Amino acid sequence: MEQKKYPLKLSPVCKEIIWGGTKLKSDFGKVCDLEKVAESWELTVRYDGMNVIENGEHAGMTLADYLGDSAKGFPLLIKLIDACDKLSIQVHPDDEYAQTNEGEYGKTEMWYIVDAEPGAQLVYGLENYDKATFAAAAKDGTLEQYLHYVDVHPGDVFFIPAGCVHAIGAGILIAEIQQSSNVTYRVYDYNRRGKDGQLRPLHVEKALDVIVDYTEDEINAIRYADGYFEGALANCKYFRVERYVGEITLNVQDGFMHVLCLSGEGTVGGEPMKKGDSYFLPAGLGAVKVEGTAEIITSVAK
């Protein structure tokens, strides 16, 4: 029997990592037993994190069980990330490299800056990149001079194709839309230690295999590979992401749509929605009205 279709409210999967803060609990209403929440996985169908439906007749069912066979190879992972401290300098492989070496898909992603403290910066690409010089700097701890730092403000968007070196800086809260992959190669981590007291592992050799020194034009060509249109934050081969404020009618046809509320409140398809809420709109749901003052990000997989 076909599952009943309506906007499914998803419970988040909260993750504790050493650089996380408290804003996801205090400002976005995430309820969990963790003292600090680095990441809140808002859309996930993975072995290491699974959403559960909170509303309607399917309440208590995992999203994977609701999706059935279509859960296999689920394409997207969407997160809210609160960086109280800076993240490691890192890079992600593309699909071909990741499938060959990790048995998983690669990772292209996009960041929408939800909040940023004055003076906050992130790492976005490289300066004066030379592979041999970069490799030596990664090993002797002088890597930061080869990184491209960018000031960030709420509303900024950063598209990060596989191969782009990057890192979220301290005092930044983002919405991240990405391929459903957790393959990360750390290049530098400020000699930080994990809960076990050991230095967090680096993956310099693999990182050097996959780093691409992109130009801005090259990144934008990948970001809008399927065409640019007004309001699109990204329209690449993996996902289309848009931002709306206030009333709008969404059209959900051949594929699912994810709705993440970043501020304000309202309803989506008649279901109540407030800051921090996450809704899954099943394929074929059709016209879905969003009413109220909510600021939302919608994501569609390709």
294 inside domain: no
Rounded distance between C-alpha atoms, residue 254 and residue 22, angstroms? 38
SS3 label, residue 155: coil
183 inside domain: yes
pTM: 0.96
Q: 43: closest CA among 284, 268, 239, 264? A: 239
Rounded distance between C-alpha atoms, residue 19 and residue 37, angstroms? 9
What pLDDT was estimated at residue 191? 83
What pLDDT was estimated at residue 1? 53
What pLDDT was estimated at residue 213? 97
What pLDDT was estimated at residue 3? 78
Structure-token match 């930061």, residue found: 144
| Cβ pair 12, 53 in contact under 8 A | no
302 inside domain: no
Residue 186 known to be catalytic: yes
Taking phi first (over 0 means left), then psi (-120 to 50 degrees means alpha), and beta for anything else, what does residue 171 get? left
What pLDDT was estimated at residue 200? 85
For the chain, how many structural domains are there in total?
A: 1
134 inside domain: yes
Taking phi first (over 0 means left), then psi (-120 to 50 degrees means alpha), and beta for anything else, what does residue 6 get? beta
70 inside domain: yes
The terminus-to-terminus CA distance of the chain in angstroms comes to 26
| Domain containing residue 168 | 8-238
Catalytic residue, candidates 46, 186, 240, 243: 186
Output the domain CATH number for residue 102: 2.60.120.10
146 inside domain: yes
For the chain, residues with pLDDT lower than 70 are 1-2
106 inside domain: yes
